[in-house]
Amino acid sequence: MAVNGILGIKLGMTQVYADDGAAIPCTVMQAGPCVVVQRRTAQNDGYEAVQIGLVEFVKPQRVTKPMAGHFKKADVAPMRFLGEVRLEASQTETKVGDRVLADNFTVGEFVDVSGVSKGKGFAGGVKRWHYRGGDNTHGSMFHRAPGGIGASSFPSRVWPGQHFAGHLGNQRQTARNLKVVKVDAEENLLLVRGAVPGPAGSYVFIRRAKSAR
């Protein structure tokens, strides 16, 4: 069974040039190194997966006693960012303590990248939900208001799920079917075409695309 995902950190964006001279916008991510912390099996858990952790320094006082015992059982150093990844059929068997590196991916394949989007604070309906808004001329007094939010006589209430102003961003989002442009195994770098959620320095979860184009 082989690991089909990895944890990483978004470093920022850049561009690379194709053979024909076209500029390709890319996101640079530090993909790993990761270590397998726990193994889940079909016999014990009902499915095949592993819990992996991103290798980075963590102060001992930042680790709770239950998590310290969890890492001690796996005989690995404490980690801040953990994630669970499903396993794919393979000739090699994945076990606790194995390393998961950026070379797990190849140039040309597609990946899904999940992260927490940038928080934008309180935003109105036009910015948050892309409302068209009203006319700005001809005496219009309706510009950036939300418009009708429910029927009057029946059912005399606001419809469930109505889009209002509110907190924008700071949600877990997934950018799907991003093409891998470059893999730097020595520096644990992964370059994918396009943007991924979150600011530079935020954690991301990278896995092989479920429905590659």
Q: Residue 156: left (phi > 0), alpha (psi -120 to 50), or beta?
A: left
90 — pLDDT class (breaks 50, 70, 90):
low
Q: Are 100 and 161 within one domain? A: no
pLDDT score recorded for residue 212: 63
* Residue 152 domain boundaries: 120-168
pLDDT 10s digits, 38-75: 888 888 888 888 889 888 888 888 888 998 898 888 88
Q: Are 99 and 133 within one domain? A: no
* Numbers of helices and strands, H then E, in the chain: 2, 13
> 51 in a domain, yes or no?
yes
Nearest partner of 3 among 46, 40, 45, 29, judged by Cα: 40
| Coil, strand or helix at 116 | strand
Q: Are 88 and 124 within one domain? A: no
> 10 in a domain, yes or no?
yes
9 — pLDDT class (breaks 50, 70, 90):
very high
Q: Are 131 and 102 within one domain? A: no
| Rounded average pLDDT over 131-140 | 87
The phi, psi pair for 72, rounded to 5°, reads: -65, -40
**Given a cut of 70, is residue 131 above it in pLDDT?**
yes
* C-beta contacts of 69-77 below 8 A and 24+ residues apart: 70/37, 70/38, 71/37, 74/36, 74/37, 74/38, 76/35, 76/37
Q: Are 184 and 202 within one domain? A: yes
Which CATH number is 82's domain given? Answer: 2.40.30.10
pLDDT score recorded for residue 119: 93
SS3 letters across 117-177: CCCCEEECHHHHHCCCCCCCCCCCCCCCCCCCCCCCCCCCCCCCCCCCCEEECCCEEEEEE
| Rounded average pLDDT over 129-144 | 88
> 22 in a domain, yes or no?
yes
Q: H or E stretch including 184?
A: strand 172-184
pLDDT score recorded for residue 91: 58
Q: Which residue has the tokens 């024909």?
A: 20
> 9 in a domain, yes or no?
yes
Q: Are 68 and 97 within one domain? A: yes
Q: Are 43 and 20 within one domain? A: yes
Q: Are 57 and 135 within one domain? A: no
| Rounded average pLDDT over 96-116 | 88
Strands 172-184 and 166-168: unpaired
**Given a cut of 60, is residue 1 above it in pLDDT?**
no
Q: Are 30 and 85 within one domain? A: yes
205 — pLDDT class (breaks 50, 70, 90):
very high
> 213 in a domain, yes or no?
no
Amino acid of residue 132: R
Q: Are 34 and 72 within one domain? A: yes
pLDDT 10s digits, 16-27: 998 888 899 999
The phi, psi pair for 118, rounded to 5°, reads: -65, 135
Q: Are 103 and 125 within one domain? A: no
Q: Are 94 and 10 within one domain? A: yes
Structurally, the chain folds into a number of domains equal to 2
> 46 in a domain, yes or no?
yes
Q: Which residue has the tokens 């939300």?
A: 146
pLDDT score recorded for residue 150: 82
> 136 in a domain, yes or no?
yes
Average pLDDT in the chain: 88
As a whole number of Å, the CA-based R_g of the chain is 23
